[in-house]
Structure 1
């Protein structure tokens, strides 16, 4: 397997939600700590840590139960804080849900930026990006579930977030630059749209997680063995590369 792609896969698998810096929502800095007599005794007032804890638990809750099914009471109990503090930081259940979406997109986009695709030859850069996308989505099923849930809402809450829209500009720019370098070098064919290419990469990686159980049940295949995952990964990378080759 290509060494840069291997490194990208390891980065995708090793990222931990607790290590992520919480993005300030709607351009506002985190609020100062508020006294919370309902919180567990002895818990220190650390806004950044508290918000990160809440986001980590809320991510799992919203991914598993959706916006309608998740309960602020349960999130408060699991984070050893209170509804009052959650509302203080995030204003509402919908505000917390949007913050979770922002955090999820922030994480993947930050790692993509660290791939340094500009330092690689075009085809190698493309293979690295596709391999990373496949590995990241495989290692982060909660991200897939959040996206599926938000699609059930027809993108209503993502549309409210200027942060998410801004976060996704760099990946399109990166795809465009890799593609244009490949066209200039004569290795990629012309007339491919960068957003369409990004959609194809995402779709091939997304389906592998979102539809694994139904696809496996229908066609009587076990799709989660290391051998099956490696074979599917190689197929996805090759499909995208062959699609672009001149």
Structure 2
């Protein structure tokens, strides 16, 4: 009888898949906990419970609470930057590219209300954790380059003004979505309108696009 050679174990691959899934679940749970309770109020036990993970694994993968918060913060910025790169804005004309960037930014905040809350938490902390992320500036520089290229193409084609600071422009674009989403509840009460309604959201998005495009247009002589 010929002995069969031992079959390779699939356990390492399975373990790798499980660890990746567990890490992702912990990051998602961390987003929710930090966004809802702030850094000081968030509890590691609650994050582990939300993720359905063993607390020891949380410490194993991410270290302490501060390190987990840093990982959540980095992941949040990486996610929006990935979305912006996926827009492939260099394939579109300047006005269309800017339209798409404004809509994406607005919709990202709308679809991820935890993101404005997380940024609010970090601002309460005076960006003390963000300052410790060594790659954060490099993460944002492609976005500035992307906007700069759109502005340059628009100016060269005669449809955009030439005196626009790309950083100031992005701050304005982000503010148009950030403020609306982060203050939706209070503004709905103050103005007696349901700002979360589809019609109101669509109207606000269209107005955000129009405001940016109108600002960028060359002024008639």
Give the 5 Å matches for 1:11-90. 46-90=18-62
| 1:166 Cα deviation after fit | 2.0
Higher relative contact order (CA 8 A, sep 6+): 1
| 1:187 Cα deviation after fit | 0.5
Looking at structure 2, the residues matched to 79 and 120 of structure 1 have their Cα atoms a distance apart, in angstroms, of: 40
Greater C-alpha radius of gyration: 2
TM-score (norm 2): 0.88
Residue 234 of structure 1: aligned partner:
206
Asked if 1 retains the 8 angstrom alpha-carbon contact of 2:28 and 2:51, the reply is no
| 1:74 Cα deviation after fit | 1.3
Residue 18 of structure 1: aligned partner:
none
Asked if 2 retains the 8 angstrom alpha-carbon contact of 1:134 and 1:205, the reply is yes
Deviation readout 1:65-104 (Å, 9 max, x if unpaired) = 1111111011122323333221221111010001001111
2:75 is equivalent to residue 103 of structure 1:
yes
Looking at structure 2, the residues matched to 229 and 80 of structure 1 have their Cα atoms a distance apart, in angstroms, of: 34
Residue 119 of structure 1: aligned partner:
91
Deviation readout 1:7-28 (Å, 9 max, x if unpaired) = xxxxxxxxxxxxxxxxxxxxxx
Runs (5+) with no aligned partner, structure 2:
1-11
| 1:165 Cα deviation after fit | 2.3
Deviation readout 1:130-184 (Å, 9 max, x if unpaired) = 0111111111101111011111111111111123322211111111110111011
Residue 213 of structure 1: aligned partner:
185
3-state DSSP of counterpart to 2:127: coil
Residue 7 of structure 1: aligned partner:
none
Residue 40 of structure 1: aligned partner:
none
Looking at structure 1, the residues matched to 50 and 88 of structure 2 have their Cα atoms a distance apart, in angstroms, of: 38
> RMSD of the alignment, in Å?
1.5
Asked if 2 retains the 8 angstrom alpha-carbon contact of 1:102 and 1:163, the reply is no
Asked if 2 retains the 8 angstrom alpha-carbon contact of 1:67 and 1:97, the reply is yes
